[in-house]
Structure 1
Amino acid sequence: MDLLPRRLLGDDTRRLASDTGLLLLRFAVGAIFIAHGWGDATQDGGAGANSGNYRDAGIPLPELSAWFGAYMQLIGGCAVIVGALTRLAAAGLAVVMAGALLYVHSGEPLVMEQDGSGSGFALSMFAASLALLGTGAGRFGVDRAFTGRQSRPTPPVGIGQPSGA
């Protein structure tokens, strides 16, 4: 159900609003992932310095997972911001956040506590990654320049279709 009738808010305006929303989501999500990945990748000892933490959390293949997590966040965050390989990057970021939820934040409350524990942030980033995986970058992303596709919504049944279609 639309909040505004279709005749008041045309399809072009709704698509523009959706694509603008995706752009804002991409910038926020990408910036957060870049900040986290940059911190992990540039710390003393590089991303491998986190392998002990990954091992302690029970994350499989901690030496590999630490590097994957750091660089997936850093490079994936950059890709998401510009809208390049958005679905692929979002899938990788969703994997990183699923690991964080399963191994690091499992059993923690949704709201962050004073000691910094809490699963809400990881859950939000997981959900945002899944949203971008499902939608892609929108029209304001590099992906569109390479695919040449223009997203066109399917008209609702009965609107603009001959009877019996």
Structure 2
Amino acid sequence: MNRPAVRDFALLVLRFVLGAVFVGRGYRRWFETGMRESASQFAQWGVPQPRVSAYLAGSVELIGGALLIIGLLTTLVAGALALLAAAATYFVHLEHGFFSESGGVEYPLVLTVVLLIVVVFGAGRASLDGVLTRG
């Protein structure tokens, strides 16, 4: 299993799934829930600067998720999304315990760790980063 082609395929699948999750979350925040409602939720959760935070989170989720899918600026984007997921863990989910069905830290913690894996291992060769760095 320690073959470059297997690793690159695994990173491609991982990036695609993570990207789709974040694109979906960003899309919902921007176009379904709306920024006014998202900012209101952020204020209820005690997130600092809720309006700015809502716009920042929605934008980073939507654009960052798309960049993860295509594999462009992957480690930078995965790092930013990991910080966003860690902040969500702290501000929103920590007080609800562990399990996700009660709103706990389980889901954002998994997202944070998987994003850190992408930061460590990069995008792989099946990405725009991989294509642009080949010599």
Q: Distance in 2 between matches of 1:112 and 1:63?
A: 25
Runs of at least 4 residues off by over 3 Å: none
Amino acid at match of 1:68: L
Amino acid at match of 1:93: L
Amino acid at match of 1:84: L
1:48 is displaced (CA, Å) by 3.8
Q: Secondary structure at the match of 1:107?
A: helix
1:102 to 82, 85, 90: 90
- Structure 2: gaps of 5 or more residues: none
Amino acid at match of 2:123: A
2:120 to 128, 134, 157: 134
Q: Distance in 2 between matches of 1:109 and 1:147?
A: 43
Cα pair distance change 1:85/1:120, threshold 3 Å: same
Greater relative CO (CA pairs within 8 A, separation 6+): 2
Q: Secondary structure at the match of 1:56?
A: helix
Q: Distance in 1 between matches of 2:51 and 2:13?
A: 34
Structure showing the higher helix proportion among its residues: 2
- Structure 1: gaps of 5 or more residues: 1-8, 150-165
Output the TM-score relative to the length of structure 2.
Answer: 0.91
Q: Distance in 2 between matches of 1:78 and 1:131?
A: 18
Say whether 1:24 aligns with 2:28: no
Q: Distance in 1 between matches of 2:58 and 2:106?
A: 20
CA RMSD of aligned residues (A): 1.7
Q: Percent identity?
A: 32
- Bigger Rg, which one: 1
Q: Distance in 1 between matches of 2:38 and 2:100?
A: 22
Amino acid at match of 1:22: L
